[in-house]
A and B are shown apart, each in its own frame.
Chain A
């Protein structure tokens, strides 16, 4: 069995097989069906479900979590820990056979637990958070729809199923970002997210076409079994296309611009979709496709570069933002950069990336919900320059947010320490100068993360009050909101150690993820790297504390080149506008003109020509017998002449 499981990059002849699901595991389809059915009920019943709809939504995710947990324990007992469930033939045309099928293996299982577990807590929180919104039922319908699509994404047993869920979460994300569709900014943000995602999706789709054209299949087991036979160039192109899809969904360079704008949605959306689950789908895709990515070193280098670049971009921009949700959004971009770095490094680092993904799911959801709690108490204020001193008024939010903050900056013994530090070490384990480049970037990122997250934390909860005048006494949020915060905070503290020790072993049973460990020794000793990462963290955090413990100005401050650039998202939005948006609008207008005047003008011109010609011809019908007689004579002469010509053979 081991040969099969540790197939990885080395042996192209290795085969991947999955057992058929039976017993309790044959009901894994319910994981997708339950939230989907709930979403359908909520949408179809309409206002009739307004009174209890949100509880149905919570219950559906709760049931999915329980089912996910029992399935997870069932899986532990199995030898190769992977079962497949074919539901029906989705597409069968010629040689193309796409199964509507599911795969429940260790990788899928940890995602299911994250999605339904963290998702359940966020649903619970949203019951209270959305209590005063008239669209709460609709909100829970979209929320459930999202969970169903996300579960299909991670549970599919082939790339088409993945794409199905992939676009499904894109739709749910669109619906939730533009949930308050009456606001033009929300509608625009939703559209932007969908469009940028579709660019990535197009890449993923072409990747799937390549798989079918070269391997004749899109099923995971068959693809992973035969990917070794592909030419190196094909693998590179295929991988780059999958990476484009992953970058779109995960907000990585160059498709990162939609993610911060997505904060237009209600805060629980940011916690569930744009922190804990959907944005990690790109990481899932690369981890799932590890036999492809491990088969080409250039490809891995590209993934690592995208990860390193994005993680630094996220830090730099995050440090310059004043909107609490946008800072968190850019920190998400940055943290997913770490995960891309991890999956790009390959080998054992795949598992490290997944561990960081799980840990991040907890602490980032925690902080987003914390931010929502702060906004709840502060009349929906999001500007951190207008907070300060909230630790006295919102004790639970303060303490729980602190856990998240310590976790994300990687302080020992919080979860980020156990999940991020190994990625930094792994980056230093590359060969030659790239170890210094990527290791250095990861280390620098750790320091910057500590700086901007501490800035956020201090400006929000400590220092002098800088509130707007309408706020007198901020209140702590109700229990339904604080309980999920507390549970997630416990996760932020404890999960790291637990995850870091158990998940990598558990994941080795996933096809391809059991590759050999630690190919090279790090360029620096392990203890030194650990110390270094702790030192930069303390330095970054200390600097921010010193700078911001006395608050900050409430008005925008003049800034140097770098900070101005960071405030404007390093001009990436400006670039998109100049290179794509403006020319696109111009092209559209030009084409409309061309079509109306050119193409249709030709048609109408032709018609007018015929009409005009007929008008002239009509004048020949003068009504005078003499002119008719002339034409009859001319015609007769012509006919006779023609006959003579034919008779004489002149035309032969």
Chain B
């Protein structure tokens, strides 16, 4: 099975689906939804087969395919995945069908075409898969930029309040970052022997000064994408304006390209520069954890609040990556997956609340638990996952990041741990202001607020809840896949885990 061209098929399949959906008649919206949903399920099925075919102990990059594209510049359609990319592909494959299901009625009210909305979601899936599957730096860059287009239209055409402003800001901000990366990509091509092949480029020696500049070019693009403090302000605007489903994909997957890029490109290609800049990156991560959490506490809009929690979580991922230990690195990658599930769920549930109320302002809610107990319960669960309660998947990743960081950098780990107190504050206060306390009389007048989760909505949240709990108790299947890739990355950087300070305990105990 491992000879099957999984990656190119997975990249192209949603695109074909998008074309099919886009050409469906505009007056048959339900057919478009069903086709899009069915198509995304096929992609999911194929991804599961790929997951099973991947051998965790095998080569670092698997399922490699390469087709020539622009021979003069040695640009190829090269695809290959390591454990990190594989996990992200699985996340995409799981989230997209659920987002389609959750967005069933999101485009109905819009003046724009309903089939186009679902076609855009499938285009987005295709570009997201492409960006994680690419093993050619130029191909990666192309996907990195093209990915912006479907999201731009999803926000700008189907979004809420201030959607134009948010869409343009999102697009331009990412594009500016992308330009810096483009410069670095060209620079890399020049110093790296005129090739864009990732594996070949990892072998290249680059002089210290050049390496640092190239690192910065990539890092800036990724820091904007993730986003890290202080490049984060586009996210709350985009998160607030985007339809809930698109927002879930935006923070759940799209933003991970930033942290994934750091792991795949910055660390292995520029190991010395990565180490040199690590203190700065750690500082940015740390600021992000505390600053964004405090800002989340102070938000008055539900979607902006969730966006800020996401920035805080990206701080943890950044710290995990730049701590350079196996635990912290594995934790960071696992965090990327778990955050996709947990924050994805949170955005979707918040979207369900907002769709009912017709407002995303927290002050327009209050006591909603009395009206929609199940929805309030799921919101609370998503909140618990967001604050990394043991028993939910994010606990494992946050714990790994912190414990791995502590072994090499105690102050950073201790300050980051303060983040878990702040996380409890923003989650619980949000829950209190929306679902607890005295029932807001205006809420009872909104008819939709009397309807608890529908069957379709249950089908959206149930798989996510199940996955979050399952991975909270038994994360091993995922960590086993991530671990070798992270260890290889640590080797690229030339870092090893420190030994325990007091003797070898395992031997003493045996």
Q: Which residues of A contact B (CB under 8 A)?
A: 15, 17, 43, 46, 88-96, 100, 160, 163-164, 167-168, 171, 174, 178, 181-184, 187-188, 190-191, 194-195, 198-199, 201-202, 205-206, 208-210, 212-217, 221-222, 225-226, 229-230, 587-589, 591-592, 595, 599-600, 603, 607
Known contacts A94-B497, A215-B502, A226-B505; 11 further A-B pairs (Cβ under 8 A):
A90-B474, A91-B399, A96-B327, A164-B390, A182-B367, A206-B406, A209-B403, A214-B501, A217-B505, A226-B508, A589-B298
User: A174 to B402, alpha carbons, bound, how many Å?
Assistant: 25
B209 adjacent to chain A (CB < 8 Å): no
B439 adjacent to chain A (CB < 8 Å): yes
Q: A160-B399, A188-B432 are in contact. Are A588 and B424 (CB under 8 A)?
A: no
Interface pair A603/B173, CB less than 8 Å apart: yes
Interface pair A591/B407, CB less than 8 Å apart: no
B196 to chain A, nearest CB (A): 31
User: A8 to B437, alpha carbons, bound, how many Å?
Assistant: 50
Interface CB pairs A-B, < 8 A, 12? A94-B325, A96-B400, A168-B390, A187-B432, A188-B432, A201-B420, A206-B406, A213-B406, A213-B500, A589-B298, A591-B298, A603-B173
Q: A94-B325, A222-B509 are in contact. Are A187 and B437 (CB under 8 A)?
A: yes
User: A187 to B428, alpha carbons, bound, how many Å?
Assistant: 9
Interface pair B506/A222, CB less than 8 Å apart: yes
Contacts of B502 in A (CB 8 A): 214-216, 226, 229-230
Interface pair B390/A163, CB less than 8 Å apart: yes
B81 adjacent to chain A (CB < 8 Å): no
Interface pair A205/B420, CB less than 8 Å apart: yes
* Minimum CB distance partner of B376 in chain A: A181
Q: A168-B391, A607-B172 are in contact. Are A96 and B432 (CB under 8 A)?
A: no
Q: Which 7 A-B pairs give the minimum distances between C-beta atoms?
A: A216-B500, A94-B326, A209-B406, A600-B233, A187-B436, A588-B298, A164-B390
User: A222 to B374, alpha carbons, bound, how many Å?
Assistant: 44
User: A603 to B509, alpha carbons, bound, how many Å?
Assistant: 57
User: A178 to B432, alpha carbons, bound, how many Å?
Assistant: 10
User: A262 to B47, alpha carbons, bound, how many Å?
Assistant: 48
B435 adjacent to chain A (CB < 8 Å): yes
* Minimum CB distance partner of A166 in chain B: B390
Interface pair A588/B294, CB less than 8 Å apart: yes
Q: A167-B390, A187-B437, A603-B233 are in contact. Are A216 and B414 (CB under 8 A)?
A: no
A588 to chain B, nearest CB (A): 4
Q: A93-B326, A181-B436, A588-B294 are in contact. Are A216 and B505 (CB under 8 A)?
A: yes
Interface class of chain B by DSSP: helix
Contacts of A184 in B (CB 8 A): 436-438
Contacts of A17 in B (CB 8 A): 509
User: A174 to B428, alpha carbons, bound, how many Å?
Assistant: 10
Q: By the criterion of a CB under 8 Å from any partner CB, how many residues of chain B are at the interface? A: 72
Contacts of A168 in B (CB 8 A): 389-391
Contacts of B299 in A (CB 8 A): 592
Interface pair A202/B406, CB less than 8 Å apart: no
Interface pair A181/B437, CB less than 8 Å apart: yes
B355 adjacent to chain A (CB < 8 Å): no
Contacts of B421 in A (CB 8 A): 195, 198-199, 202
B373-402 Cβ-contact flags toward A at 8 Å (1 or 0): 010010000001000011100011001101
B233, B429, B435, B487: which has the most chain A beta carbons within 10 Å? B233
Q: A94-B326, A94-B497, A181-B435 are in contact. Are A15 and B508 (CB under 8 A)?
A: yes
Q: A182-B367, A230-B502, A591-B298 are in contact. Are A95 and B439 (CB under 8 A)?
A: no
B483 adjacent to chain A (CB < 8 Å): yes
Interface pair B506/A217, CB less than 8 Å apart: yes
Question: Which chain B residues in 470-494 approach chain A with CB under 8 Å?
Answer: 473-476, 479, 483, 487
* Minimum CB distance partner of A181 in chain B: B436
Contacts of B413 in A (CB 8 A): 206, 209
Contacts of B437 in A (CB 8 A): 181-184, 187
* Minimum CB distance partner of B233 in chain A: A600
B66 to chain A, nearest CB (A): 32
Interface pair A92/B479, CB less than 8 Å apart: yes
Interface pair A93/B483, CB less than 8 Å apart: yes
Contacts of A190 in B (CB 8 A): 428
Interface pair B390/A216, CB less than 8 Å apart: no
Contacts of A94 in B (CB 8 A): 325-327, 330, 404, 483, 487, 497
Within 8 Å by CB of B505, from A199, A202, A225, lies: A225
Interface pair B390/A202, CB less than 8 Å apart: no
Contacts of A222 in B (CB 8 A): 505-506, 508-509
Within 8 Å by CB of A195, from B234, B326, B384, B428, lies: B428
Contacts of A215 in B (CB 8 A): 500-502, 505
B403-432 Cβ-contact flags toward A at 8 Å (1 or 0): 110110010011001101100110011001
Interface pair A205/B438, CB less than 8 Å apart: no
User: A212 to B369, alpha carbons, bound, how many Å?
Assistant: 41
User: A213 to B406, alpha carbons, bound, how many Å?
Assistant: 7
B48-60 Cβ-contact flags toward A at 8 Å (1 or 0): 0000000000000
* Minimum CB distance partner of B429 in chain A: A191
Within 8 Å by CB of B497, from A95, A182, A592, A607, lies: A95
B450 adjacent to chain A (CB < 8 Å): no
Within 8 Å by CB of B417, from A90, A92, A93, A205, lies: A205
Interface pair B503/A198, CB less than 8 Å apart: no
B25 adjacent to chain A (CB < 8 Å): no
Contacts of B424 in A (CB 8 A): 194-195, 198
Contacts of A209 in B (CB 8 A): 402-403, 406-407, 413, 417
* Minimum CB distance partner of A47 in chain B: B373
Interface pair A213/B402, CB less than 8 Å apart: no
B327 to chain A, nearest CB (A): 5
User: A183 to B436, alpha carbons, bound, how many Å?
Assistant: 8
* Minimum CB distance partner of B398 in chain A: A205
Q: A195-B425, A225-B505, A225-B509 are in contact. Are A93 and B500 (CB under 8 A)?
A: no
* Minimum CB distance partner of A600 in chain B: B233
B395, B428, B479, B499: which has the most chain A beta carbons within 10 Å? B428
B358 adjacent to chain A (CB < 8 Å): no
Contacts of A217 in B (CB 8 A): 500, 505-506
Interface pair B417/A206, CB less than 8 Å apart: yes
B504 adjacent to chain A (CB < 8 Å): yes
Question: Which chain B residues in 148-170 approach chain A with CB under 8 Å?
Answer: 169
B90 adjacent to chain A (CB < 8 Å): no
A89, A209, A215, A599: which has the most chain B beta carbons within 10 Å? A209
B279 adjacent to chain A (CB < 8 Å): no
B265 adjacent to chain A (CB < 8 Å): no
* Minimum CB distance partner of B433 in chain A: A187
Contacts of A92 in B (CB 8 A): 476, 479
* Minimum CB distance partner of B487 in chain A: A94
Interface pair B503/A226, CB less than 8 Å apart: yes
B483 to chain A, nearest CB (A): 6
Contacts of A181 in B (CB 8 A): 369, 435-437
Contacts of A201 in B (CB 8 A): 420
B291 adjacent to chain A (CB < 8 Å): yes
User: A163 to B504, alpha carbons, bound, how many Å?
Assistant: 24
Q: A194-B424, A222-B505, A222-B509 are in contact. Are A89 and B432 (CB under 8 A)?
A: no
B338 to chain A, nearest CB (A): 13
Interface pair B295/A592, CB less than 8 Å apart: yes
Interface pair A96/B403, CB less than 8 Å apart: yes
Contacts of B295 in A (CB 8 A): 588, 591-592, 595
B230 adjacent to chain A (CB < 8 Å): yes
Contacts of B509 in A (CB 8 A): 15, 17, 221-222, 225-226
A164, A187, A188, A607: which has the most chain B beta carbons within 10 Å? A187
Within 8 Å by CB of B406, from A212, A229, A588, lies: A212
B80 adjacent to chain A (CB < 8 Å): no
B137 adjacent to chain A (CB < 8 Å): no
B10 adjacent to chain A (CB < 8 Å): no
Interface pair A592/B298, CB less than 8 Å apart: yes
User: A209 to B437, alpha carbons, bound, how many Å?
Assistant: 38
User: A188 to B367, alpha carbons, bound, how many Å?
Assistant: 13
User: A599 to B228, alpha carbons, bound, how many Å?
Assistant: 12
